[in-house]
Amino acid sequence: MRLLFLGDMVGKTGRTAVWDRLPGLISDLKLDFVVVNGENAAGGFGITEDIFLETINAGADVVTTGNHVWDQKEAVAFAGRHDQFLRPANYPQGTPGRGSGLFYARNGARVLVANVMGRVFMHPELDDPFKSAEVILDACPLKEQADAIIFDFHAEATSEKQCFGHFVDGRASFVVGTHTHVPTADTQILNGGTAYMSDAGMCGDYDSSLGMDKEEPLNRFISKMPKGRMEAANGPATICGVGVEISDATGLAEKIAPLRLGPRLAETVPEFWR
């Protein structure tokens, strides 16, 4: 199975780049399943229902989120209406929406996608992500109820991300970090067969500070005083993500490599898909 994960869409330039390029990527790379993190898609803060639906219409099978999931008030209302919209699974019981779901890939495979948020340097501090993952895996084990299992681990600390990867190694197909908006160079397959990347990076303008117009964050670092609101940068976007090939026989990873398309960062498409 061929899986593509795209990192956090930031603002209009990030989401439109994904919408423009994703249909062609699905066709050209013969992708079976696509997950996109959309938590910064609405001006850098949260996501609206229209943006979610447009992302699904472009070819995403699931849209994950993170700590900005509720920044747009309408998300509280629409979260429960769409199975393909995920918020972190370790929110307290009774939170709107869902944190995981079982979906069907284009090749007919059953794909469990789970969205979990870390706790180190993160706000709000949610329930234990390791316990939440254990509950999810116990309910839908790999190669029993699911042919592939994907975790979007939305977290700040690389150490927490790495430990989470080792925690589910051999029980999940792929763990990818989101939130820091900077693609890491540690794509690998862990000892137990789980593909891993600490952060997929963002889909947005890299002439920025994490996808936001750089002037206001720079001012705040220098003066310690805000001059205005943070605004999403609107220059040309680079799409960042990661491609994984998963064994149909075992549900574990066979290949992993980054995908980057656009200006500023060196373009790369996984060699095994060329």
Best CA proximity match to 116, nearest among 124, 103, 127: 127
Q: Would you say 234 is a known binding-site residue?
A: no
Burial profile 203-214: b = 16 or more Cβ within 10 angstroms, e = fewer: bbbbebbbbbbe
Tokens of 259: 């995908």
Place of tokens 């699974």: 89
Q: Is 57 annotated as a binding residue?
A: no
Total Cβ atoms within 10 A of residue 271: 9
Judge whether 166 is annotated as a binding position. Answer: no
User: What residue spans of the chain are helical by DSSP H?
Assistant: 11-28, 49-57, 74-78, 129-139, 158-168, 215-223
Q: Judge whether 68 counts as a catalytic residue.
A: yes
On whether 90 is known to bind a ligand per the annotation, the reply is: no
Give the separation between CA 191 and CA 231, rounded to whole angstroms. Answer: 42
CA distance 100 to 93: 13
32 with 5: CB under 8 angstroms?
Answer: no
Q: How far apart are CA 68 and CA 54, in angstroms?
A: 19
Question: Is 181 among the annotated ligand-binding positions?
Answer: yes
CA quadruple 47, 56, 61, 102: dihedral, nearest 10 = 70
Annotated binding site: 8, 39-40, 67, 154, 179, 181
Annotated binding site for Fe cation: 8, 39-40, 67, 154, 179, 181
- The residues annotated with a catalytic role in the active site are 68
